[in-house]
């Protein structure tokens, strides 16, 4: 027994020393330097030609089949499409891409950006008039679209208010549609293959200008308010290079491309996985996530906090249902104690939970907004590395992130390699605007120098987010500069701080804290979207007024732990989801307008 004790003690001392040396070791992987996306993809084409790049489900009438596309085949299709696009006069032209996440979307994006022209990814959720407006504003010459948008494209073609020359559909067309001037992507691929076989190398040998505008991305929001962000190859490639230095992506990983590809977080993410030779699959829809994780043996999942938190709530509910809450708590304590001496039994101990998420999930990357600390810790305790990052469309996108060695719950991690972050003009609490420098910072807002000058000053990009930095270098977002509620007495309230507290209530799906105008001041208020199933199970028979009273009691309890001026004094409850962007961020301005209209404050 004494010998075993001594061995464990020595291992404990060793692990403590190792933990001390690893605690701030952020850059842990060797990587190539990348200056453009052609180089990013070449790594996979050269090193993993036989790896499966995409696994695509086909829903046939009788059964389900899968199409697997190897990296060597993906490379050929990129070259074929790019060659065909140039042959039809699209060299150095602007080409928009719109549709749900699918292979043809990624193929089109890469074939445009890697030798044809400038790519313009569009939000698949935009109304027809905003699609038309985006095409006009970006001066798009060609659009590649899914069949879902055929009616919209016919209308745009008929109105003739854009400068679009070619309309290319990702799906098969009828003869009548072809006669109307629409082109089938499959026909272009066949034509491109013939051109390549005949010796056409114009696309294959295309020179990339690393620092030239190659991508025009619209920021989240309605088109009238969104800005068009101009990005270069170098912007995006440098961000992929930085992520490679800190995140352990493997060529054997299976990534589920869930985030919308028109968003820079989703698009740069899939380019990162393609760089490593990973397999990429597509989700059948939010209701099918759990089954898709199992079906494709997904190992890496990049998504937004709202979804991760919903996944955890289901797990937590199932644990409670089985009466295993105490058992899981004890098992977690034992597991974490063993982990301190280098013994990792998490994935064995919590095998049932991991199997419930497909059995292969090893890494969750969260972005777009703050992830609940409790949820992040729980997934890490289960043996699924869960980290979060922070970034913006304007920064290609990642500015800071955690990794396996550097996790501090509640933070956004450390600044990415090659990126410099600092707190501008901090107050007495050390809170100020987060500003950044780095090769991933955008070229500017397209044809909007005034807006560009507002955010890029003396070489620093001003994020608009308020943050603080701790002694270990970790950054913590405290709120959005424009969201701060400034009371008449001069006190500042950061809504996100209160939303974190309200969001912990078990029945809350979404919440928004805001300043409701009253006389010449603001009343700190909260709108809550409650979970109908939870209310049905736990507050059966409650009227809406009784439910509001119950929730109000919980808000008062939260208030009791806050300084007086932060107290929430007005409550709005509903079961209707709030207005959100495609990455699940609440559109505060639109929600405020809706609230004020419903409350009769504006007419």
* Cis amide prior to 403 (ω within 30 degrees): no
pLDDT at 61: 65
Rounded to 5 degrees, what are φ and ψ at 297?
A: 55, 50
- Kindly calculate the radius of gyration of the chain based on its CA atoms and give it in whole angstroms: 26
pLDDT at 21: 42
By three-state DSSP, how is residue 168 classified?
strand
pLDDT < 70 stretches in the chain? 1-24, 61, 220-225, 583, 600-603
CB 462 within 8 A of CB 456: yes
Q: How many CB atoms are located within 10 Å of the residue 177 CB? A: 18
Strands 485-486 and 475-480: unpaired
pLDDT at 483: 84
Contacts of 385 (CB under 8 A, 6+ apart): 362, 363, 364, 404
Distance CA 382, CA 385 (A): 9
- Is 594 buried (19+), middle (13-18) or exposed (0-12) by CB count in 10 A? middle
Strands 64-70 and 52-59: antiparallel
Please tell me what DSSP assigns to residue 359: S
Query: Any bridge partners for residue 550, and if so which?
Result: none
pLDDT at 595: 87
pLDDT at 2: 43
**DSSP-H helix ranges across 162-304:** 175-179, 185-197, 233-246, 264-275, 289-295
- Is 54 buried (19+), middle (13-18) or exposed (0-12) by CB count in 10 A? buried
State which H helix or E strand residue 319 sits in: helix 305-321
The per-residue pLDDT for range 7-56, each reduced to its tens digit, is: 344 444 434 444 444 445 899 998 999 999 999 999 999 999 999 999 99
Q: What is the pTM of this model?
A: 0.84
Contacts of 257 (CB under 8 A, 6+ apart): 101, 106, 266, 269, 270, 280, 281, 282, 283
Q: Taking Cα atoms as reference points, which of 397, 373, 374, 377 lies closest to residue 385?
A: 377
């Amino acid at each position: 027994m004494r010998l075993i004790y001594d061995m464990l003690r020595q291992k404990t001392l060793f692990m403590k020393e190792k933990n001390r040396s690893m605690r701030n070791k952020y850059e842990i992987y060797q990587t190539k330097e990348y200056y453009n996306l052609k180089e990013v993809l070449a790594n996979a084409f050269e090193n993993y030609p036989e790896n499966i790049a995409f696994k695509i489900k086909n829903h046939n009438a009788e059964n389900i089949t899968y199409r697997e596309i190897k990296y060597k085949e993906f490379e050929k299709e990129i070259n074929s499409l790019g060659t065909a696009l140039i042959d039809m006069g699209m060299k150095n032209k602007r080409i928009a891409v719109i549709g749900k996440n699918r292979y043809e979307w990624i193929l089109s994006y890469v074939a445009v950006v890697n030798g044809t022209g400038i790519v313009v990814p569009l939000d698949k959720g935009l109304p027809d008039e905003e699609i038309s407006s985006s095409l006009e504003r970006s001066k798009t010459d060609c659009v590649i679209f899914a069949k879902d948008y055929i009616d919209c494209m016919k209308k745009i073609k008929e109105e003739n208010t854009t400068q679009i020359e070619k309309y290319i559909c990702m799906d098969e067309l009828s003869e009548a549609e072809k006669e109307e001037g629409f082109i089938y992507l499959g026909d272009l691929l066949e034509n491109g293959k013939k051109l390549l076989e005949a010796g056409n190398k114009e696309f294959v040998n295309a020179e990339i200008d690393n620092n030239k505008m190659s991508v025009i991305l619209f920021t989240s929001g309605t088109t009238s308010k969104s800005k068009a962000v101009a990005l270069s190859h170098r912007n995006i490639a440098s961000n992929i290079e930085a992520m490679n230095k800190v995140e352990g992506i493997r060529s054997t990983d299976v990534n589920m491309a869930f985030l919308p590809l028109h968003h820079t977080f989703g698009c740069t993410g899939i380019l990162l996985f393609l760089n490593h030779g990973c397999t990429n699959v597509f989700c059948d829809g939010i209701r099918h996530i759990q089954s898709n994780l199992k079906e494709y043996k997904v190992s890496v999942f990049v998504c937004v906090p709202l979804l991760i938190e919903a996944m955890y709530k289901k797990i937590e509910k199932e644990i409670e249902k089985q009466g295993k809450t105490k058992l899981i708590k004890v098992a977690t304590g034992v597991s974490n104690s063993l982990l301190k001496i280098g013994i990792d039994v998490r994935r064995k101990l919590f095998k049932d939970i991991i199997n419930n998420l497909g059995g292969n999930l090893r890494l969750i990357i969260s972005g777009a907004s703050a992830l609940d600390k409790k949820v992040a810790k729980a997934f890490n305790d289960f043996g699924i590395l869960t980290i979060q990052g922070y970034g913006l469309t304007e920064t290609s996108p990642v500015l800071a992130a955690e990794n396996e060695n550097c996790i501090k719950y509640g933070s956004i991690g450390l600044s990415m390699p090659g990126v410099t972050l600092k707190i501008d003009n901090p107050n007495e609490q050390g809170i100020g605007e987060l500003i950044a420098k780095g090769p991933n910072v955008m070229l500017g807002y397209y044809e909007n120098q005034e807006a560009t000058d507002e955010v890029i000053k003396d070489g620093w990009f001003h994020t608009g987010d308020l943050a603080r930095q701790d002694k270990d270098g970790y950054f913590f977002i405290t709120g959005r500069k424009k969201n701060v509620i400034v009371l008449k007495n001069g006190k500042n309230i950061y809504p996100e701080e209160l939303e974190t507290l309200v969001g912990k209530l078990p029945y809350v799906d979404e919440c928004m804290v805001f300043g409701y105008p009253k006389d010449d001041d603001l009343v700190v208020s909260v709108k809550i979207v409650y979970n109908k199933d939870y209310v049905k199970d736990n507050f059966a028979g409650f009227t809406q007024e009784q439910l509001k009273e119950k929730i109000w009691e919980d808000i008062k309890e939260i208030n009791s732990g806050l300084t007086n001026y932060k107290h929430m004094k007005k409550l709005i409850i509903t079961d209707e989801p709030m207005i959100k962007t495609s990455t699940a961020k609440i559109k505060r301005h639109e929600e405020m307008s809706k609230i004020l209209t419903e409350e009769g404050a504006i007419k």
